[in-house]
Amino acid sequence: MVHVAGDAGFSRAELDQLYRRHAPSVFRRARRLLGRDADAWDAVQEVFQKMVTAHQSFRGEARPMTWLYRITTNISLNMLRSRSLREPAGLTVIDGHADDGQEALETRNLLQAWLKGLTEREQEIATLLFIDGLTQEEVADVLELSRKTINREVAELRAKAAALGALPEGDS
Amino acid sequence: MSPHLSALVIDELAAGLPSADAAAHLATCTECQQRLAAVKQASATISAMPAFQQRLDAVTLGEPARRGPWLRLVSIALPVAAALALVVFWPRGDDVLLKGAPTVELIANEKPVMVAKPGDRVTLAVGGAGATHAIVFGVDASGTVTKLWPAGGEAAPIAPGARVSLDVSFEVTPGDLVLLGFFTKTTQPTEPIREAIERSVAGARAPLEVLAPSGFGAVARSRLKVTP
């Protein structure tokens, strides 16, 4: 199986260059969300496989990093949902969280609360806004939303996350 | 002084992407200079990790990379376990593959596990029988359908072999479990399979008697009995 696409896709050299340029930031973001290296590398692989299959979408981005943020967030949150779903089903995944401090623990606790209490859209916005530290304008760019929409959704999100007791310190 | 650069802009600068607006701020802001230097240093460290090249190979060549060390360490500590009985369904049709029947099983110490106790540790393994991609679901006695592998939303590549460890390990908890593996030569999304299994569970006499739905490739099925 060769993932590199045909005429309109990436050449091997181009994909290699994109990977070397962007994989470190994809890994750092996925690692922060997923908490363990093995899962973060899985996310890296999925993000770049997605880049290959959706090369037109990636090429069409005026700002490629926003595409990477969107896809990395989406894939990482899907992996977290999958992880939380499979735990009660007769087998529990043996946890391999690295010992990476209080901030990482707070991040994981926030994510767990958001996975239970927020919609998938709200989870994406919360992750980009509160964990990645993007501005509202950048979140709008990443998720391809209008400024008006993001302002309204962030206001609703803050209220909902506060009610869940799941706002990061300094945002409550 | 303008607000500090966002993480997005710092990532863009670290990746060598142009950002004219950021350049002016960066020239005068020591804090953002330090943040950028830290990200560049982290990127260099990540690029030197063995998995960095392995995952690039997996993307460009379709070769599945190995998982991280935490799972391998767990595998080393796996206890010896009992034997596993395996029932395999091999449907005829468009998805018939070439080399015998695929398998899905839980293993410990490289041996299949059919009966286990809560607390035992087991690893998921498959034999693709010529297939290149797999998805594995679990169904418990309550009828809950859980995707066990892969983590993402698409079938993932598997290495050739009769018993290939997927390097995802589990601790056994109370309650029997049925494993359903789906094997193809191309990738496919996982969610339609989950929905089809849920429909199959709804039509089964009991959840653990669920039959694997057809139309998603070759199928393997096994059952884990969990004793008190």
Contacts of B63 (CB under 8 A, 6+ apart): B57, B157, B159
Residues B76 and B50 in one domain: no
For position A148, what pLDDT does the model report? 92
Residues B122 and B158 in one domain: yes
In a domain, B66, yes or no: no
How do residues B34-89 score in pLDDT, each as one tens digit? 999 999 999 999 999 888 988 888 887 654 433 332 222 233 333 323 223 233 33
How do residues B167-210 score in pLDDT, each as one tens digit? 777 777 777 888 999 999 899 999 899 999 988 888 888 888 88
Please indicate whether, in this complex, the C-beta atoms of B8 and A25 are within 8 angstroms of each other: no
- Taking residues B103-111, report their average pLDDT: 87
The answer to whether residue B123 scores a pLDDT higher than 60 is: yes
Contacts of A140 (CB under 8 A, 6+ apart): A146, A147, A149, A150
What's the DSSP call for residue A16?
A: H
Judge whether B125 and B71 are in contact, CB under 8 Å: no
Residues B106 and B37 in one domain: no
For position B146, what pLDDT does the model report? 83
Q: Search chain B and give the residue with CA nearest A131.
A: B7
Residues B54 and B80 in one domain: no
Residue A71 vs residue A3, higher pLDDT: A71
For position B89, what pLDDT does the model report? 32
Which residue's structure tokens are 């350049």? B23
Find chain A residues with C-beta within 8 A of B66's C-beta: none
Residues B41 and B109 in one domain: no
Q: How far is the CA of A127 from the CAs of A107, A163, A166, B200, in angstroms? A: 9, 17, 12, 35
Phi, psi of B108, rounded to the nearest 5 degrees: -145, 135
The answer to whether residue A155 scores a pLDDT higher than 90 is: yes
Based on its alpha-carbon atoms, the radius of gyration of chain A, rounded to whole angstroms, reads: 17
Q: pTM for the complete prediction? A: 0.57
For position B205, what pLDDT does the model report? 82
Please indicate whether, in this complex, the C-beta atoms of A39 and B8 are within 8 angstroms of each other: no
For position B112, what pLDDT does the model report? 86
Residues B80 and B131 in one domain: yes
Residues B128 and B21 in one domain: no
Residue B100 vs residue B202, higher pLDDT: B202
Residues B88 and B197 in one domain: yes
In a domain, B25, yes or no: yes
Please indicate whether, in this complex, the C-beta atoms of B172 and A36 are within 8 angstroms of each other: no
Q: How far is the CA of B73 from the CAs of A96, B69, B77, in angstroms? A: 10, 6, 7
For position B78, what pLDDT does the model report? 32
Chain A / chain B CB contacts < 8 angstroms: 169
Residues B110 and B210 in one domain: yes
In a domain, B56, yes or no: yes
Closest CA relative to residue B156, chosen from A42, A83, A30: A42
Please indicate whether, in this complex, the C-beta atoms of A19 and B138 are within 8 angstroms of each other: no
Q: Search chain B and give the residue with CA nearest A77.
A: B152
3-state class (DSSP) for residue A2:
coil
How do residues A67-122 score in pLDDT, each as one tens digit? 999 999 999 998 888 765 444 434 444 444 444 567 777 887 888 888 888 998 99
CA distance A46 to chain B (A): 7
Amino acid residing at A149: T
Residues B39 and B98 in one domain: no
3-state class (DSSP) for residue B69:
helix
Spacing of C-alpha A129 from chain mean position: 11
How do residues A19-61 score in pLDDT, each as one tens digit? 999 999 999 999 988 887 878 888 999 899 888 888 888 888 8
In a domain, B111, yes or no: yes
* Gap between the Cα atoms of B44 and A25, Å rounded: 11
Query: pLDDT averaged over chain B?
Result: 77
Find chain A residues with C-beta within 8 A of B186's C-beta: 1
Residue A68 burial (10 A CB sphere; 0-12, 13-18, 19+)? buried
Residues B18 and B110 in one domain: no
Residues B34 and B93 in one domain: no
Please indicate whether, in this complex, the C-beta atoms of A91 and B186 are within 8 angstroms of each other: no
Residue-by-residue DSSP string for A45-83: HHHHHHHHHTHHHHHT-SSHHHHHHHHHHHHHHHHHHHH
Please indicate whether, in this complex, the C-beta atoms of A90 and B176 are within 8 angstroms of each other: yes
Domain containing residue B29 = 7-61
Closest CA relative to residue A37, chosen from B124, B54, B16: B54
In a domain, B13, yes or no: yes
Q: Which of B51, B171, B174 sits opposite A41 (nearest CB)?
A: B51
Residue B144 vs residue A51, higher pLDDT: A51
Contacts of A3 (CB under 8 A, 6+ apart): A49, A52, A53, B59, B60, B62
Per the structure, the count of domains in chain B is 2
Contacts of B124 (CB under 8 A, 6+ apart): B104, B105, B106, B107, B136, B148, B149, B165, B166, B168, B169, B170, B179
The answer to whether residue B160 scores a pLDDT higher than 50 is: yes
